[in-house]
Amino acid sequence: MIDFNKVFLDTSPVVYYLENSEPYYLRIKNFLMECVECDLVTSTVTVTEYLTYPYQQRNLKAVNDFYAFYRRNGYRVKKH
């Protein structure tokens, strides 16, 4: 694998991971495990795209899971 220090997480991998969507969940999980030393970032667009539906549906579990995923792993949201 190529050495890298920073990885940008777009919306799709975040959705697949948080919703345990196969066949991508395990691939993303393995990738994230390899990126332990990396600086993972995402954008405010990803935050908005992911959270809009759970907020509309009043699905607080999905909202809390999203924030916990970022807090637990120390990921950052890059503001545009």
Q: Which residues contact 24 (CB under 8 A, 6 or more apart)?
A: 13, 16, 17
**Is 57:45 a contact under the CB 8 Å cutoff?**
no
pLDDT tens column, 60-77: 999 999 988 888 777 766
**Locus of tokens 């009043």:** 58
pLDDT at residue 7 in the model: 85
**Is 66:51 a contact under the CB 8 Å cutoff?**
yes
Say whether 6 sits in a helix, a strand or coil: strand
pLDDT tens column, 28-60: 999 888 887 788 888 889 999 999 999 999 999
